């Protein structure tokens, strides 16, 4: 048997269109974000016909192995960052399975330091060289006064490894943030962390990972529509 992990990015947040680095700022889900996560929870709980939804990136739900319905569910736990946008998403995901999320603060988004709350455009104008260096190599360069990629990786992977060690051969969900889910996927795939921005993670993205003697990513950046 394998451990199956449903790695999920939280839904859309308020003011998402402004393209800001939110980091540790506690920004709530938007109404659209709540709806996105409800649709994902509906899919995971098999409340409606699989054929009535589509997963973005060209895959229909019929093209991947169906998840368990509520009666057959094997999801034993849902873990979440403590930030409200992730925790609210986790609560919605967990509800059909009759469980409550377990908060792990190590799953919080990266701390963006002086850049938190600023738009990409504002940062690129105020610190053009630093912002360009960060975009080109997020491993070597870090947000000003913020966490490095290695610091974010160390805390996130420590929590991830502790979680999976407690749930061998079980199904679990982990709800986190775009930066953290990218880091986890890079680590599991053996990708250099310099390439984290080559992995897209949309709001309410679902990634399905099976852990055998090695990790196998069955779905990446799936979105229920």
pLDDT digits (tens, 9 = 90+) for 119-174: 999 999 999 999 999 989 999 999 999 999 999 999 999 999 999 999 999 999 99
Q: Beta-carbon neighbour count of residue 151 at 10 Å?
A: 13
Judged against a pLDDT cut of 90, whether residue 200 lies above it is answered with: yes
β-bridge mates for residue 128, sequence order: none
Q: What is the dihedral of CA 148, 149, 154, 160, to 10 degrees?
A: 140
Q: Beta-carbon neighbour count of residue 162 at 10 Å?
A: 12
The string of pLDDT tens digits covering residues 51-78 is: 334 555 534 444 445 454 444 457 899 9
Domains identified in the chain, total number: 1
| Helix/strand/coil for 40 | helix
The string of pLDDT tens digits covering residues 82-111 is: 999 999 999 999 998 999 999 999 999 999
Give the CB-side neighbour count of residue 112, counting CA atoms within 13 A: 20
C-alpha 153/C-alpha 159 separation (Å) is 10
Task: Judge whether 54 and 61 are in contact, CB under 8 Å.
Answer: yes
Rounded alpha-carbon distances, angstroms, from residue 20 to 95, 137, 181: 30, 19, 18
| Helix/strand/coil for 224 | strand
Buried-state track 75-90, b at ≥16 Cβ within 10 A, e below 16: bebbbbbbbebbbbbb
| Helix/strand/coil for 93 | helix
Q: What is the CATH number of the domain that holds 85?
A: 3.40.50.1240
Quick one: residue 204, left, alpha or beta (phi over 0 = left, psi -120 to 50 = alpha)? left
Q: What is the 3-state secondary structure (H, E, C) of 45-65?
A: HCCCCHHHCEECCCEEHHHCC
Instruction: Give φ, ψ of 172 to 5 degrees.
Output: -140, 160
Expressed as residue numbers, the domain containing 102 is 3-222
CA-closest candidate to residue 173, choices 96, 61, 59, 71: 96
């Amino acid at each position: 048997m394998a451990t199956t992990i449903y790695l999920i990015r939280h839904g859309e947040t308020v003011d998402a269109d402004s393209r800001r680095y939110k980091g540790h700022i506690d920004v709530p889900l938007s109404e659209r974000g709540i709806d996105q996560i409800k649709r994902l929870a509906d899919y995971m709980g098999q409340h409606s016909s699989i054929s009535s939804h589509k997963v973005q990136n060209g895959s229909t739900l019929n093209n991947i192995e169906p998840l368990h319905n509520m009666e057959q569910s094997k999801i034993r736990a849902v873990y979440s960052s403590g930030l409200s946008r992730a925790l609210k998403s986790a609560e919605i995901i967990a509800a059909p399975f009759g469980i409550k999320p377990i908060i792990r603060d190590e799953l919080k988004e990266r701390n963006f330091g002086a850049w938190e709350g600023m738009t990409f455009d504002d940062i690129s104008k105020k610190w053009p060289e630093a912002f360009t260096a960060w975009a080109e190599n997020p491993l070597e360069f870090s947000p000003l006064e913020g966490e490095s990629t290695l610091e974010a990786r160390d805390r996130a992977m420590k929590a991830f490894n502790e979680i999976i060690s407690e749930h061998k051969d079980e199904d679990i969900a982990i709800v986190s943030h775009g930066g953290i889910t990218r880091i986890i996927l890079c680590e599991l795939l053996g990708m250099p962390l310099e390439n984290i921005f080559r992995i897209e993670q949309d709001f309410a993205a679902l990634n399905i990972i099976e852990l055998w003697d090695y990790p196998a990513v069955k779905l990446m950046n799936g979105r229920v529509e």
